[in-house]
Amino acid sequence: MVVTIIADVLGEENNGTTVACMNLVRYLKSRGDTVKIVCCDQDKKDLPGYYVVPTLNLGRLINYIVKKNGVTLAKPDRNIIEQAIEGSDVVHCMIPFALSKKTAKICKEKDIPVTAGFHMQAENFTSHILWFMNCGMINYFVYQNIYRTFYKNVDAIHYPTQFIRNVFESTIEERTNGYVISNGVNDRFVNKNIEKPEALKDKFVILSTGRYSKEKAQQVLIKAVKYSKYKDKIQIILAGDGPKKNKYEKLSDKYCPNKVIMSFYGRDEIVDVINYSDLYVHTAVAELEGIACLEALKCGLVPVIANSPRCATKGFARDEKCLFKQNSPKDLAKKIDFWIEHPELKEEYKQYYITSSHIYDQKECMEQTREMLLEAIRCKKRKTEKSYITAMN
C-alpha cells in the first residue's frame, strides 16, 4: 500500500513522537509499502519521499517556547499536502496540530481514509504554560478542542495504552474507533552482561530516561538522594536533554554527593547504559505510555515508578515495591534503599521483567498498526461501495 505520514513535529529522534513515527516508517518500508512523509524539516527537502512544508510562526512568545523544547512546528501548505497524498491508499497523522488538522480536512474532501496516532497527553502541552499542567479545566478544554477540530474527523485512532484511551473518551464523553497498540520496544533492548565504566564500579547507578521537562519531574529523583542512607554511593544518570537541564545541574550540586550525569545517548549506547545500571526510576507525573521505562524492563532493569493517576507507566509495576508516592523524594528514597538492601530479590524481579516484557515486541506492535491502516482502507472502500449501490437504487 501507499501510506503518507503527516508529522507536524519530526526533527531528530530525541522525543517519543518522532521515534514512534520513524519506527513506523521503517517497518512499513520493510513490509514493501511505499511511504511518503510530510514535515517542516528543511534539511529533508532533497530527500526522496519527503514533502517539506514551511515552519509555523506562532508569534514571539510561542516560538520561544517551541524553540526551547528543541522542536519546530509545521505550517500547512495545501499544494504540498495534495502532492503528498495523491495516490495514497491511507494517510496517517502523528499529532493533532495544524498540519494534521488541515490534511484530515483535505482527505475528507478527496475521500481518502485517514488515521491518527494519540501521542499527546494534554499535560504535554499545558506543562509549558505557567502552572496550567495541574489545571484540570484547561486540560479538559485541550482534549475537547483536539477532538472537535481533529480526532472527530479521522477514521481510526491509535492509542498507545488503554489508559490514555480511557482518559480521552471519558473527557469527550464519546466512544471513538480506537485501536490500543503499544508503540513497542525495539529488539536491540535485551539483557546482556555489560561492565560498568571504571569511574562507576563502586557506585549504585540509578537511571532515568526522558526529556528534562516539567511533566517528567526528574527533580524528585535528584532530591531523593538527600534522604537515602546510601547517598554517597548513589550515581544518577539522566539520559536525555531538555529545557530544565540548567535547573537540574544546580539541584545536583545541592543534593547529590556524586554529580548527576546528564547526557543524551544514541540508540545503541543507551542499551549498554541500561544494562550496567542497578535501578530504573520513572518520575513522570503525566505519561501516556512510557517506552523508555519499557526499554529498561526488557533489559531486566527493576523499576521504581511514580504512582501518579495521570501516568500510564505505573501499570508496568509488579507490585508496591516498584511504586513510590508521586512527588515524594522521601518515599522514593525509601524504595531506593530497599532495593539496595535486597539484591537477591532484585535479581528475582529482574527475571520477571525480562520474561513479561515480550508482549511489547516492536515488530508485533508495528504489524498491528499496519493492520489498522489496512482496515481503514477496507472500511472506506465498503462505505464507498455502499454509497454507490444506494445511489444506483
Q: Are residues 154 and 269 in the same domain?
A: no
Q: What is the pLDDT of residue 331?
A: 98
Residues 353 and 375 in one domain: no
pLDDT at 135 over 90: no
Please state the domain count of the chain.
2
Mean pLDDT of all residues belonging to the chain: 92
C-alpha cell at 243: 529545557
Q: Which pLDDT band, with edges at 50, 70 and 90, does 264 fall under? A: very high
- Residue 62's nearest CA partner among 72, 76, 77 is 72
Does any domain span residue 191? no
Residue 189 belongs to a domain: no
Query: CB neighbours of 334 closer than 8 A, spacing ≥ 6?
Result: 227, 324
Q: Give the least confident one: 59-73, 110-124, 276-290.
A: 59-73
User: Do 165 and 247 sit in the same domain of this protein?
Assistant: no
Does residue 326 carry a pLDDT above 60? yes
CATH number, residue 52: 3.40.50.2000
How much is the pLDDT for 272? 97
Residue 69 in this model has a pLDDT that exceeds 90: no
Which tens digit of pLDDT belongs to each residue from 185-231? 999 999 999 999 999 999 999 999 998 988 999 999 999 999 999 99
Q: What is the pTM of this model?
A: 0.88
Same-domain pairing of 180 and 203: no
What is the extent of the structural domain holding 285? 198-359
Question: Is there a single domain that holds both residue 152 and residue 253?
Answer: no
Please say whether the beta carbons of 228 and 142 come within 8 A.
Answer: no
Same domain, 162 and 13: yes
Residue 82 and residue 123 in one domain: yes
Given a cut of 60, is residue 95 above it in pLDDT?
yes
Residue type at 377 in one-letter notation: I
Q: Residue 231 domain-assigned? A: yes
Q: Is 90 exceeded by the pLDDT of residue 282?
A: yes
pLDDT digits (tens, 9 = 90+) for 265-278: 988 899 999 999 99
Model confidence at 12, in pLDDT bands (50, 70, 90)? confident
Same domain, 231 and 296: yes
Q: Each residue of 13-62: pLDDT tens digit? A: 877 889 899 999 999 999 999 999 999 999 999 899 999 999 987 777 66
* pLDDT above 70: residue 66: no
